[in-house]
Structure 1
């Protein structure tokens, strides 16, 4: 086929298509118009909604019922007495455990005793000391000897001198010996006392002065 024929066929086809489209479109429009004319408007009365009553308010909360108390389980009481066992010898008695009692409180300590101790004291010292100095040894008088003798004596429980020693010499044996001899012969004392106040042995010291007039 030549080109002119093909073009002519295409043109013929397009014409048919346009005619067919026009026919179809016109028929559809006329049919639709007829249907609309036939349709009548119908007013529909909608029914009024029914008024619903409000539900009553809920009743107040009631108190919960009391709990169900289950009955206590049955207690099986054994009414049968326990068996009694008879033995030939009774069991030994239980040992007696001594109860330790607290020691009694210690008695209060007695108050400390007041000591009555006292040293020996000269009794009538001026009198007997003057007698010792008046008993000036004759040999010391003849030799014109003077001096001071220190003596330390032991006084017994009766207040008498039981021993004498020269604690400080005069430089003259005659005066030293005369001083101790005079103390044992003339000196008297109140004896020393112990803590209980009983007479006891004590000591005493003094100085004997020998001086010529």
Structure 2
């Protein structure tokens, strides 16, 4: 209170100041609201005001007169249709319960092939082995050709030999098949066979001379 007194503001002045401020505020508010409502009303009037022009009614067209009536000619006479014969009942249909199988095709047997004539019998074979020729003569010559060393040592024995007979009947390729126990007699027997022995050559199936073989034994004995 002392402060209010010092400033010169009494309660009556304070109340009056408040009342003045309140009146000013209300007047300002009224002015703002009035402007806003006026602007809103103008906007609503602008939007809702629409000029509508009603169209003029169309002129009525004159009615056309009805067409004249045409004479209708009577319809042509119609002949009645010919009568249709309807059979009282269709003929019965016979059905076969099973279908027989088709007949088998005819079996055609080709004729037998002609029999070939029998082949001619083969010609008899002429093949044979080699045989000796004048054996007594050349065998004696081999034995007479007694090795001299065997004579001095009185060596006796029998030699088994095997030779190859050529197509011209000569002996070659002698080999000892059974030794006499003396190499002197074995060598002499083979040398004598290749030198003195003569043969009839071996023949093939056609009868042509060919190579063969021959085996024999030569005995050396002192008289």
TM-score (norm 1): 0.51
Quote the residue 1:117 is aligned against.
Answer: 127
Of residues 179-188 and 203-212 in structure 1, the stretch that sits farther from structure 2 once superposed is 203-212
The counterpart of 1:199, out of the listed 180, 205, 209, is 209
| CA deviation after TM superposition for structure 1 residue 106, in Å | 3.0
Per-residue CA deviation, residues 23-57 of structure 1 (Å, 9 max, x unaligned), is xxxxxxxxxxxxxxxxxxxxxxxxxxxxxxxxxxx
1:169 is aligned, of 179, 189, 192, to 179
Structure 1 partner of 2:167: 157
Q: Where does residue 134 of structure 1 map in the other structure?
A: 144
Within 1, Cα distance between the matches of 2:111 and 2:203?
A: 47
Q: Offset of 1:149 from its aligned partner?
A: 0.4
Residues of 1 paired with 2:117 and 2:171: CA distance?
Answer: 45
1:81-114 deviations in Å (ceiling 9; x for gaps): xxxxxxxxxxxxxxxxxxx997654342120220
* Cα shift at 1:163: 1.3
CA distance in 1, matches of 2:204, 2:221: 38
Of 191, 194, 200, which residue of structure 2 is paired with 1:181?
191
- Count of aligned positions: 114
Following superposition, which runs of at least 4 residues in structure 1 exceed 6 angstroms of deviation? Answer: none
Distance in 2, matches of 1:144 and 1:121, equals: 33
**Matching of residues 1-213 of structure 1 within 5 Å:** 105-213=115-223
Q: Supply the distance in 1 between the matched residues of 2:120 and 2:113 (Cα, whole angstroms).
A: 20
Q: TM-score under structure 2 normalisation?
A: 0.48
Question: Structure 2: which 5+ runs fail to align?
Answer: 1-109
CA offsets 1:134-164 (integer angstroms, 9 cap, x no match): 1111111111111000111110100000211
